[in-house]
């Protein structure tokens, strides 16, 4: 979760006044401040390459007139709402009774599509995506071969080859040497391979920085408590389950440190006897045996392969139990945050469920719905 003041989370459970601020820049130069926001949303999805996606509805005119000298729609590369590298920075503000406003960033978005009425009689809609899109678009033009003493450092290099000045911050606890490896075209696929090899995820955060962070586990501290009842923020909680895309073991096939040594293997299994996705014979009450295979040539020892398998299994087994929540909007929430969900106000201790946030939609208008998709976070053996 993004850092906010001590009173921010408490204020979410009370009546509140919200404001959305949007500014547009290009190459670090501010083109316009205070776009006239009518509404829209920010979708945050840990399963998408571009973690944040923006839909922004704007008034037909800015305070200085139309968005360009030609009515409404951008026509020139330098117009504020065009798609030639322009970026919109969006912030969500919560105003306290004393009149002060606490601002929380919602993202830095590359403009992908502006559209609106040529008659200047309807809203302008802009869609955009977070900065991962720049890196994912920059596919290798020839096979890319690299080695490094640090997987984290190589991830930073692959990003900086596209966005030279962007900040790359890491809180990941694991790092490994990367043997000489060749990737064909997919730059973001190379970054994902490197992140998987150290049990990490890579994404652009709401400040526009790139982050290398550990994938959440059952030991990750909850960032927020979502409770029903008086003083809580939980509006509704619908539970669902499906066997689709559920795996209860991960097998990692790594590279070989030399031609004379067999490739390394690592594994992790759901062996928790209380787990709904327990590995084993269904006749004995288990879920079955559904392994997921990962080929990671950058993994060159068994201990690392086991750690990578365990980190990725944690992403899979919780999918058996999902919660679709509706809560009071919380702009500070981040995908893959761990939360404690308490659906029974009369049995807070007995009904608590620890979940990881997969996705949510942040409304850009007061009173908008805030749907959150989460999954059970289980221990991995």
Range with the poorest average pLDDT among 8-12, 87-91, 182-186, 203-207: 8-12
Q: Of 59-68, 93-102, 239-248, 258-267, where does mean pLDDT reach its minimum?
A: 59-68
Residue 330: which of 274, 278, 370, 377 has the closest Cα?
Answer: 370
pLDDT-based confidence at 381, cuts 50/70/90?
A: very low
CATH class of the 135-214 domain in this structure: alpha beta
315 neighbors 207 (Cβ within 8 angstroms): no
Mean pLDDT, residues 61-87: 68
Q: 319 by DSSP, 3-state: which?
A: helix
Instruction: Write down how long the chain is.
Output: 381
Report the C-alpha gap between 199 and 306 in whole angstroms.
10
Model confidence band, residue 71 (pLDDT cutoffs 50, 70, 90)? very low
Percentage of the chain exceeding pLDDT 70: 87
Q: Which residues pair with 296 in a beta bridge?
A: 254
Q: Tell me if 194 sits within 8 A of 178, measured CB to CB.
A: yes
Q: CA-based Rg of the chain, rounded to a whole angstrom?
A: 23
Give the torsion sign (CA, 70, 75, 76, 82).
positive
Q: Residues 284-302: what's their mean pLDDT?
A: 90
- DSSP 8-class letter at 137: H
Tokens of 217: 């586990």
Q: For residue 69, give the DSSP letter.
A: S
Helix (H) or strand (E) holding 325: strand 322-327
Beta bridge partners of 272: none
User: Residue 204 in contact with residue 210, Cβ under 8 Å?
Assistant: yes
Distance CA 349, CA 355 (A): 15
DSSP summary character for residue 313: H
Task: Please tell me the pTM assigned to this model.
Answer: 0.85
Yes or no: say if 36 and 57 are a contact pair by the CB < 8 Å rule.
no
Residue 89: name the closest of 16, 148, 20, 174 by CA: 20
Query: Whose structure tokens read 């059970």?
Result: 376
What's residue 303's pLDDT? Answer: 86
| Spatial separation of the C-alpha atoms in residues 62 and 277, rounded to whole Å | 54
Determine contact, residues 190/183, Cβ cutoff 8 Å. yes
Q: Which string of DSSP letters, residue by residue, matches 30-58?
A: EEESS--EEEEEEEEETTSSSSEEEEEEE
pLDDT digits (tens, 9 = 90+) for 116-149: 765 566 788 999 999 999 999 999 999 999 999 9
Topology (CATH level 3) of domain 6-129:
Pnp Oxidase; Chain A (2.30.110)
**Nearest by Cα to 204 from 132, 154, 153:** 132
Q: What is the DSSP string of 231-268?
A: T--EEEEEEE---TT--SEEEEEE--SSTTSPPPEEEE
Which distant-in-sequence residues (6+ apart) come within 8 Å of 284 by Cβ? none
State which of 76-85, 213-222, 301-310, 345-354 shows the largest mean pLDDT: 301-310
- Residue 193 CB: number of other CB atoms within 10 A? 21
* Ranges of each domain in the chain: 6-129, 135-214, 224-376
């Amino acid at each position: 979760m993004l850092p906010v003041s001590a009173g921010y989370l408490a204020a979410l459970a009370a009546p509140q006044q919200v404001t959305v601020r949007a500014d547009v820049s290009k190459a670090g130069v501010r083109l316009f401040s205070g776009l006239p926001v009518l509404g829209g949303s920010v979708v945050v999805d840990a399963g998408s390459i571009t973690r944040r996606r923006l839909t922004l509805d704007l008034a037909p005119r800015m305070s200085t007139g139309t968005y360009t000298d030609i009515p409404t729609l951008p026509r020139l590369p330098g117009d504020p709402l065009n798609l030639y590298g322009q970026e919109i920075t969006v912030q969500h503000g919560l105003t306290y009774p004393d009149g002060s406003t606490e601002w929380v960033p919602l993202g830095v978005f590359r403009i992908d599509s502006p559209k609106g009425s040529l008659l200047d009689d309807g809203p302008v809609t802009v869609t955009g995506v977070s900065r991962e899109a720049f890196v994912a678009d920059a596919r290798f033009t020839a096979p890319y071969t690299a080695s490094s003493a640090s997987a984290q450092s190589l991830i930073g290099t692959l990003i900086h080859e596209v966005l030279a000045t962007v900040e790359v911050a890491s809180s990941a606890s694991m790092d490994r040497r990367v043997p000489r490896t060749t990737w064909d075209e997919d730059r973001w696929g190379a970054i994902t391979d490197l992140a998987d090899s150290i049990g990490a995820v890579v994404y652009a955060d709401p400040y526009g920085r790139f982050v290398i962070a550990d994938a959440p586990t059952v030991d990750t501290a909850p960032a927020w408590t979502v409770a029903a009842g008086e003083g809580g923020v939980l509006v509704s909680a619908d539970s669902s389950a499906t066997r689709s895309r559920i795996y209860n073991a991960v097998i990692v096939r790594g590279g070989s440190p030399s031609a004379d040594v067999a490739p390394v293997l690592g594994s992790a299994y759901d062996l928790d006897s209380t787990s709904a996705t327990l590995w084993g014979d269904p006749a004995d009450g288990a879920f079955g045996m559904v392994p997921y295979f990962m080929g990671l040539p950058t993994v060159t020892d068994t201990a690392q392969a086991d750690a990578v398998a365990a980190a990725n299994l944690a992403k899979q087994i919780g999918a058996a139990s999902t919660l679709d929540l509706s809560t009071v909007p919380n702009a500070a929430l981040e995908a893959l945050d761990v939360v404690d969900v308490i659906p029974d106000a009369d049995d807070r201790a007995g009904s608590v469920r620890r979940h990881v946030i997969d996705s949510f939609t942040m409304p850009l208008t007061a009173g908008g719905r805030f749907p959150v998709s989460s999954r059970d976070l289980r221990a991995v053996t």
